Structure 1
Amino acid sequence: MNPVGIGIVGCGPIAQAAHLPATVKAHNATLIAVCDRSERLRTAAQRMHGAPNAYADAADLFADTRVEAVIIAVADPFHVPLAKAALHAGKHVLVEKPLSDTLVSAHMLAAVHAQTDRILHIGNNKRYDMGIEYARDMAWGALGQRIAYRGWYCDSHLRYTATANLQPTFVTADDTLRPALDPKTDRRRYLLLTHGSHLVDTARYMCGPIVRVQTQYRTVEGAHCWYSAVTFADGTAGHLDLTVTIQGDHHEGFHLYSQHGSIQAKTYLPWFFKSSDVEVFTSTDAQYHRPLGADGHSYRRQIEGFCAAIRGSQDVRAATINDGVAALAVLTAMTRSAEANAAWVDVDTAAGLP
């Protein structure tokens, strides 16, 4: 397979910690170009990772004929405009999660994508966690009909103490391009989109579409909690707990109860590059099964899946444009439910800002 020529738009923290090194490590990708408005950031990225070209303007990167696909690693409000421009330029796109900061703009991007034959994946890298991959295969195979799912994503108040030891020392700059309105100004919404996109996508990956939600929201001294009952399209009952932050260590995972067995999963911060601990019980043989998941680099595996799809492989793991839109719809429905004193809300009727 000929390596796919990759251009990365955005040379900030997520690119430095994940996408730049992952692209260089990926066996079927070649880093062709980097792009950032900040000369300091793009120069550092080019020098450190050996990109032949560095651009200040994304339009110039999109015009580079050696770039077949782009990774968009910028602030959330820029996701849709850049993805649309990349598609119009004939590029395949891997855009960081969440797909957008509004459901309306996500639908607009989906309409643009529908007019192309390009691959568009969302950066829900946990789908490429080997433990979660194994759990998903069992959930949709040997375990039979699903009964109930419980998922949680509880971020630690000491997150940045941990990540300071795990991530590289970031190159920073004062001349980066920032949104007119800092997304972090509305902290409730920012946390819901940033962390909730992981929680919801993992639930949908394991059990399929979510059709109804009932959410209680509570905030205490800067901690935000969304406690949601959900119903999946196949009738599976569910519960999702998003709490940011908790007083304790990062706490993430899920339980699934099915017709012929059950699953327990513990997921780590991705910066440990460690697959989830997954234990599956199968009643057919009365045995517990645990995958090793030795390859814990979900970001690299995600890029390899993206490139394989571009070369014609059927990548069943990836979060597609439809998954990205659906996750935003669930998060929006959660907000509407919380505003209505935990009323049940049908996801397909959700509207407004998440």
Structure 2
Amino acid sequence: MIDLAIIGGGPAGLSAGLYATRGGLKNVVMFEMGMPGGQITGSSEMENYPGVSTVMDGMSFMAPWQEQCFRFGLKHEMKNVARVSKNSDESFSIFLDDGGEIRAKAVIVCTGSEPRRAGFKGENEFFGRGVSTCATCDGFFYKNKEVAVLGGGDTALEEAIYLANIVSKVYLIHRRDGFRAAPITVEKAKKNEKIEFITNAVVDEVYGDQSGVTGVKVKFKNGDIRDLKVPGIFTFVGLNVRNSVIKDENGNFICETTQSGQIKVDLKMQTSLKGLYAAGDIRQDAPKQVVSAAGDGAVAALSAMSYIESLK
């Protein structure tokens, strides 16, 4: 049996692993299928982490986290966790996709979130063939071409600004007049001559052929349609939490969650199930910022260490 299982390898999971192992736990395992780093590794610009004055992309920003967190003995298992359950002896069973089972004294869930689909016609058909949720990943394919960006938050505007350095023009589509993004980001985007704002409008349809997207139809509130002849659209319309690991075999949550599926926690990141903690985007009212996720991970690790000590 391991001391602590950490599910997820983003900022919350890595910070939890760092604090747990540096704090003295000897058998801590982080389950993450790919390379650790989380969703922020797909970001084109990271400039608001306290103490880091250099603006860099998410991949570069997260690279030193791995080295630091593994230095104190954190183990990384490149395996996918299917679900977690609590046993009669107060331990937890970690069920893996490959059929394996690992027992742990405590668990921290840091599975984060994933980009939400916008729901327009053609989105699923052309996803990966002109419809993308990662400007850093796919922006280069549209060098000197025109593209569309859908969304009104910080991510949408930041990625529009990033794409403007690569493409010839960016059509920024938002359903309202106002934006949820920080005023400084909105101002920066408005000053960019390559970005055209299309507000009070939604994407009605994305169409194309066997080679991929060839156009985007934008529908305004008055019913008018504008046809943008672009080969790609980037959508940034929010996130869905990855909460499948806290569902039992019948699909019921093993701890309390909000109506939207986020895990309810107290100030110690403790869930309603003793010994089970949640950190980062998965938890209730998460601000979805790297600095907050890192703080959550540290708090969850310290709480889990106290819990494990109480078992002795």
Please give the TM-score of this superposition, normalised by the length of structure 1. Answer: 0.27
Structure possessing the higher radius of gyration over alpha carbons? 2
TM, length-normalised to structure 2: 0.30
